[in-house]
Amino acid sequence: MGRDKEAEKNLRRQATIDKPFTVEGKGLHTGGISKVTFVPAPSDTGIVFIKEGVRIPALYNYVSDTKRRVILKNKDKSVSTVEHLLSAIYALGISNLFIYIEGEEIPILDGSALKWCELLESAGIKIQDTRRRTFYLKENLVVRSNNSLLLLFPSNRFEVLCVISFPKSFIKWQRFYLESLDKYFTEIAPARTFGFYYEVKDLIEKGLISGADLESALLIGEEWYVNSPRFWDEPVRHKILDIIGDFSLLGIDLKMKIISIGSGHSLHVKALEILTDKIEGGKGL
C-alpha cells in the first residue's frame, strides 16, 4: 500500500522522541553496566551523546576507533559500540536526540537493534517542523581496502546489498539485499552481532567481548551455528545493520545504493570522508 500524503510529508521532516526514557545494561566488550538516558532534542540538533557534560556528536569525524566496534570521542570522553543504537535511530527516522551515558559502552541488550527500535518507538516519534537535509548521490563511487570493497550508486531511496565470506567457517558466502528501510524492522533489526568459536579465546585475551553470551550474540562454529540463529543468514543481515549505523554518522538522510563486499567499520568511515566532500561541495543536496 502507498503512503498517504501526510505520511510522505512527515518523511521529509525532522523528528525526535516524544518523552524521555532510561535504559541500563551491560556492554558487549567491557561487560560493565551502563545507564543511558534518551531526551528529546530541538530541530537541527542531530544525534548527540553527552558524557559528564561533554557533547559527543554522532558524526564520523568524532570516530576514534573502528576495531570490532565504533568508538566516538570528544576531548577526553568517549562512548563505545554505538553502531547498533545508531542503526535503529536512523531506520526510525529520528533526526534529533540527546543521549546521556553513564558508563563506557552502549548496552548490547539482545545483540541486535530490535530492542532499541521497540524502546524508541515506545517513547513516541515526534515529527518536527524543520525539513530534513537529504543527500542524493549523483555519481558512482568505489571505495576499497585490501579485499574489502564498497560500491555506491545513485538511487531514489536508501538500499543496501551486502556479501560476506568467511572461508575459515562454514560461511563460504552469504548475500542479502535490503531494498528499502521499510523492511528494516522485520529483516534487519532482529539480526544479532556474531563471532567465531575459534577466535573467542584470543578476543577475551585482548580485553574484548567480556559481556558477550549466547543470548546477545550468535556464535559460529566449524559446521553450523553453536546457538540457534534467528535467520539462516543472520550474519550478513547484521552486517547491513552495522552499515546503516555507520553511514548514519554523516548526520544526513541518504539516497543511494550501497553494495558491500566484505567491508567493515574502517572502510565505511573512509567512504563517509569521501561523501562529506560531495556534501560540502553542494553536490546532491
Q: In the beta sheet, which residues pair with residue 78?
A: 73
**What would the DSSP string read from start to end of 54-92?**
EEEESSGGGEEE-SSS-EEEETTEEEE--HHHHHHHHHT
Active-site pick, 265, 268, 270, 278: 265
Are 211 and 27 within 8 A, CB to CB? yes
Q: Is 213 annotated as a binding residue?
A: no
> What pTM does this model have?
0.92
265 catalytic? Reply is: yes
In angstroms, rounded to a whole number, what is the distance separating the alpha carbons of residues 101 and 25?
11
Percent of the chain at pLDDT > 90 equals: 76
pLDDT (mean) for 128-157: 95
Tell me what pLDDT residue 223 has.
87
CA dihedral 157, 234, 122, 89 (to 10 degrees): -40
Tell me what pLDDT residue 186 has.
97
In angstroms, rounded to a whole number, what is the distance separating the alpha carbons of residues 151 and 19?
39
Stronger pLDDT, 269 or 202, i.e. the higher one: 269
Of 3.40.50.300, 2.60.40.3080, 3.40.190.10, 3.30.1700.10, which CATH number belongs to 134-280?
3.30.1700.10
Looking at the domain that runs over 5-131, which CATH code has it been given? Answer: 3.30.230.20
3 — pLDDT class (breaks 50, 70, 90): very low
- Look at 104-108, 123-127, 160-164, 166-170 and tell me which has the smallest mean pLDDT: 166-170
Q: Is 18 annotated as a binding residue?
A: no
273 — pLDDT class (breaks 50, 70, 90): very high
Tell me what pLDDT residue 4 has.
46
pLDDT beyond 70 at 10:
no
DSSP letter, residue 155 = -
Please state the domain extents for the chain.
5-131, 134-280
Are 284 and 134 within 8 A, CB to CB? no
pLDDT beyond 90 at 275:
yes
pLDDT beyond 90 at 270:
yes
Are 55 and 48 within 8 A, CB to CB? yes
Residue of 129, 114, 132, 130 whose CA lies nearest to 248: 132
Q: In the beta sheet, which residues pair with residue 149?
A: 144, 261
pLDDT (mean) for 20-38: 90
Tell me what pLDDT residue 284 has.
59
Element housing 220 (H / E): strand 218-220
Tell me what pLDDT residue 68 has.
81
Stronger pLDDT, 226 or 43, i.e. the higher one: 43
Q: Is 129 annotated as a binding residue?
A: no
pLDDT (mean) for 32-43: 96
181 Cβ contact list (under 8 Å, min separation 6):
91, 157, 158, 244
